[in-house]
Amino acid sequence: MEKIPNQKAWLLVLPVFALVAFSAVIPLMTVVNYSVQDTFGNNKFFWNGVGWYQELLDPTTELGGRFFASLWRNLAFSAIVLSIEIPLGIVVALAMPREGWGVAFSLVVLALPLLIPWNVVGTIWQIFGRSDIGLLGWTLNRVGFDYNYVANPLDAWLTIIVMDVWHWSSLVALLCYAGLKSIPEAYYQAASIDGASRWAVFKAIQLPKMRHVLVIAALLRFMDSFMIYTEPFVVTGGGPGNSTTFISIELVKLALGQFDLGKAAAMSMVYMLIIIIVCWVFFTVMTNAGQDRTAAGGEP
């Protein structure tokens, strides 16, 4: 067949180009622009090359030290909440009723924390944990624990982790529940005929069928916890000291507190790259893990 040259099709993608340009490309390029310049105010900018990046990635400098400290803090936080929320979500999903009025009830109860604005979640826990008037903090102190998240870094961490688990385990549970619901009844009947134990049913049927939603849940939870800002900002404000200063909080301090636009822009770029790379690696590994295992069992 003869191919008809027709360039009009470009016009049809133009709106998308315009939209993406305004929503992503132009803002991003502005950041890139800032990250390679320096300013002493008066809206005058000077070329600084990769100076900010060099400083940022060198832990011995002040900027680099702050960046790496908050990066490790943030990675630790993500690792901890993921390792709690994923298993907890699976357990909750398994324990949920499969039919009857209990389904609607537990779905609503689980969805509640997800519907609360992040700022409000922070405020709730900020008050809840206060040792003078908060129910949790006051009770813990009465029982004999010396709990004070304003003064003690460990208490601050515990508060923020418990808050995140409270806030987001529901999401994992709901996703897992959706995965579980898609398993046909015949699988359970077959498993009971095959004499499978509860554990064997979980390992042979439920976990494999939940794998895809678990990948999504883990990705969502990683990105979200790695970008966390509002809740710790409201509860601890990054303290005590710098103990709960995560990257985003550090970034806001730099950009809005000190007005160091160049440093903040460079940190933003690196921050974004880390998120993209981690997600890409994670997603590829998780999807390839399934592929490899099937390929390994291929034609002998």
Partner 1 sequence: MARIDLADLAHSYTGADADPASFALKPTSMTWRQGGAYALLGPSGCGKTTLLNIISGIVRPSRGKVLFDGKDVMALTTQQRNIAQVFQFPVIYDTMTVGENLAFPLKNRGLPRAEIEARVREIAGLLDLTPHLARKASRLTADAKQKISLGRGLVRADVAAVLFDEPLTVIDPGLKWELRSKLKVLHRTLDLTMIYVTHDQTEALTFADTVVVMHDGSVVQTGTPQELFVRPAHTFVGYFIGSPGMNVLPAEVNGQQARVAGHTISLLRNYDGLPPGARVEIGIRPEFVRMAAASPELISAEIERIDDLGRSRFAWLRVGNLRMAAQVPNGSAIPNGRAGLIFEPAQIHVYADSRRVEGTA
Q: How far is the CB of 219 from partner 1 (least distance, A)?
A: 21
- Window 175 to 194, contacts with partner 1 (CB under 8 A): 184, 186-187, 189-190, 192-194
Of 79 and 203, the one with the shorter C-beta distance to partner 1 is 203
195 binds partner 1 (CB under 8 A): yes
Q: How far is the CB of 300 from partner 1 (least distance, A)?
A: 6
297 binds partner 1 (CB under 8 A): yes
Are 172 and 217 a contacting pair, CB within 8 Å? yes
The pair of structure tokens assigned to 60 is: 């011995």
Residue indicated by tokens 């994992």: 172
CA distance 52 to 36: 7
Which regions of the chain does DSSP assign to beta strands (E)?
A: 37-39, 45-47
Residues facing 45 on adjacent strands:
39
294 binds partner 1 (CB under 8 A): yes
CA neighbor of 79 nearest in space, from 192, 201, 218: 218
User: What number of chain residues touch partner 1 (CB under 8 A)?
Assistant: 23
Residue from 37, 45, 80, 209 touching partner 1 (CB under 8 A): that is 209
CA distance 32 to 45: 14
CA distance 85 to 108: 19
Residues constituting the chain: 300
Of 23 and 287, the one with the shorter C-beta distance to partner 1 is 287
Q: How far is the CB of 202 from partner 1 (least distance, A)?
A: 12
Are 167 and 113 a contacting pair, CB within 8 Å? yes
Are 84 and 77 a contacting pair, CB within 8 Å? no
Q: How far is the CB of 281 from partner 1 (least distance, A)?
A: 23
- Using CA atoms, how far residue 23 sits from 19, 26, 87, 220, 264, in Å, is 6, 7, 37, 22, 20
205 binds partner 1 (CB under 8 A): yes
Q: How far is the CB of 195 from partner 1 (least distance, A)?
A: 4
Of 5 and 184, the one with the shorter C-beta distance to partner 1 is 184
Of 50 and 198, the one with the shorter C-beta distance to partner 1 is 198
Of 205 and 223, the one with the shorter C-beta distance to partner 1 is 205
Of 121 and 213, the one with the shorter C-beta distance to partner 1 is 213
Residue from 196, 227, 252, 274 touching partner 1 (CB under 8 A): that is 196
162 binds partner 1 (CB under 8 A): no
Phi, psi for 229 (deg, rounded to 5):
-140, -60
Q: Binding residues for partner 1, per CB under 8 A?
A: 184, 186-187, 189-190, 192-197, 200, 204-205, 208-209, 293-294, 296-300
